[in-house]
Structure 1
Amino acid sequence: MPDRSGNNSSSGRKKGSSGRSYRSKAGLTLQPKKMRGRKPSSQRWLTRQLNDPFVAEAQSRGFRSRAAIKLEQMDNKHQFLAPHMRVVDLGCAPGGWLQVVMKRCRIEAGKGALVGIDLLEVDPVPGADLLVGDITDPDILQQVHTAINGQADAVLSDMAAATTGHRQTDHLRTMGLLEIALDFADQVLAPGGIFLAKAFRGGSDRQFQDMLNQRFEKVRYLKPPASRSESVETYLLATGFRGAPPDGLRADLPKEQTGYSPI
């Protein structure tokens, strides 16, 4: 599966709609020492990394990525993680979300379960089962069922396609990943389960929301503070899984039945 954006693409704030940038204790914006030969986009990313307080917070608390801060912020407000849940994390590298889930769900032997899946190998997270493979592989699906001893209470996905710089292309590619994640969730979620996934705003996210409304009791858009305000990144939280419709992923509900619930 493509790179999870928790690794690098949601790496801080830059000057944008907020009209400011984060600064050092001396009041100056920090700059990387070695910028020669780097593309402007790489230079901007490095500068954001150095000046982003959420990067600093994640590092100081021992998290593997700033994406962990986003998950904490969303759960602090909406409280969807509970003790001893059975959770599957799709595209789990480098493991920041795994760290948060392990702590908040108090997973231990015989009480709850946590499975992380990625194409990349991930450094061990004590208590979590890590699988290397593609989530569309039937063997991976079977391994998940075995690891959680049945069905999952939650499927989480911070996956995003590798960006191209063309906003609409990036949106469509990430929404395609979302459909794959939802298809996986259809096959592992227990009744009443939750689905949380990263999305990029851009048009087809509304059609995807229709798909969620066919399956879940409530669907909401979330924008945690650690997600840059100028970014098209958002998250969709769906709760109360009812099961997949007979016609699969296709969304064909009229607009008045979609239950749009922005946050």
Structure 2
Amino acid sequence: MARDKKGSLPTGRRATVRVKTARGRTVSSQRWLQRQLNDPYVEEAKKRGYRSRAAFKLLQIDDQFKILKPGARIVDLGAAPGGWTQVSVERVSSGKNKGVVIGIDLTPVEPIAGATVLAKDFYDEDAPAILTELLGGPADVVMSDMAAAATGETQVDHMRIMGLAELAHDFAREILKPGGAFVAKVLRGGTERTLLDRLKKDFAKVRHFKPEASRADSAEMYVVGTGFRG
């Protein structure tokens, strides 16, 4: 399979894999399995040793905005299963410039070489102080790919994920250094304007971005703030 010039997007034609109907498998689970089997990012993630296809979303975000710089201090909120943490380690620990990557998630994460991942709630009052100590100073980037479990109710799901993005922003304000960057998953649905207005007060530039690795039929996109005013 070929790759694009940036190395983050698998390309090339593949034979479609069809999933046979199995007793006990629902129609929705059968569709999910077929989508997974025919998703080039799932295959490429396995080849590269990434823990999830979501790793390519961060690769494409960074290709666009250049936020994961060698030597940077990174905080990955809601790090499980670890794909974004793996990408961060690759990109900030380049050559002699060894960055620091700290992940945090309530769900325990298998160890990742070059990173520290805490099994802890970032809502905890002591979390910013603990992370700052582990980082050795304020963060250059705070990022979140968090998403609440889907309910099937579009507006409810939208409000829940926007709530997580707002909490991630609140956290970022406590731990980012001036000039730092913030990335968070959001869903289109009408209330994202509130978050954008908040971010524009704290960051010099705020933009929406939908990586090619985000499925076309998904309302998912990312908000990226750069130039934290501190």
TM (norm. structure 2) is 0.90
Are residue 223 (structure 1) and residue 207 (structure 2) matched? no
| CA distance 1:107–1:180, shift in 2 (3 Å) | farther
Equivalent AA in structure 2 for residue 203 of structure 1: G
Alpha-carbon RMSD across the aligned residues, in angstroms, is 1.9
Decide which of 23, 46, 59 is 1:59's aligned counterpart: 46
Amino acid at match of 1:185: A
Shift of 1:169: 0.8
Q: Which amino acid aligns with 1:161?
A: A
The match for 1:119 is 106
Residue 10 of structure 1 aligns with which residue? none
CA offsets 1:86-118 (integer angstroms, 9 cap, x no match):
000000011111111101111699832110000
Q: What is the percentage of aligned positions where both structures have the same residue?
A: 53
Q: 66, 77, 85: which one pairs with 1:98?
A: 85
The answer on 1:239 being equivalent to 2:226 is: yes
Pairing 1:51-90 to 2, within 5 Å after superposition = 51-90=38-77
Q: Using the TM superposition, give the Cα deviation of residue 210 of structure 1 relative to its aligned residue in structure 2, in angstroms.
A: 0.7
> 2:34 is paired with a residue of what secondary structure?
helix
Say if 2:183 is the partner of 1:196. Answer: yes
2 CA distance for matches of 1:106 and 1:114?
A: 9
Give the secondary structure class of the aligned counterpart of 2:126: helix
1:49-93 residue CA offsets vs partner (Å, 9 max, x unmatched): 000111111111111100001111121122121001000000001
| Cα separation, 1, equivalents of 2:114 and 2:95 | 7
Amino acid paired to 1:186: R
- Aligned residue type for 2:61: M
**Is contact 1:23–1:51 with CA below 8 Å preserved after alignment?**
no
CA contact (8 A) 1:65 1:95 kept: yes
**Aligned counterparts of 1:132 and 1:114: Cα–Cα separation in 2:** 14
* C-alpha displacement of 1:133: 1.2
Contact 1:30–1:50 at 8 Å: present in 2 too? yes
Gaps (5+ residues) in structure 2? 1-11
Pick the aligned partner of 1:173 from 160, 163, 187: 160
Q: Which runs of 5+ in 1 are unaligned?
A: 1-21, 244-263
Which residue of 2 is the match for residue 256 of structure 1? none
1:215 is matched by which residue type in structure 2?
D
CA distance in 1, matches of 2:94, 2:119: 21
User: 2 CA distance for matches of 1:23 and 1:31?
Assistant: 16
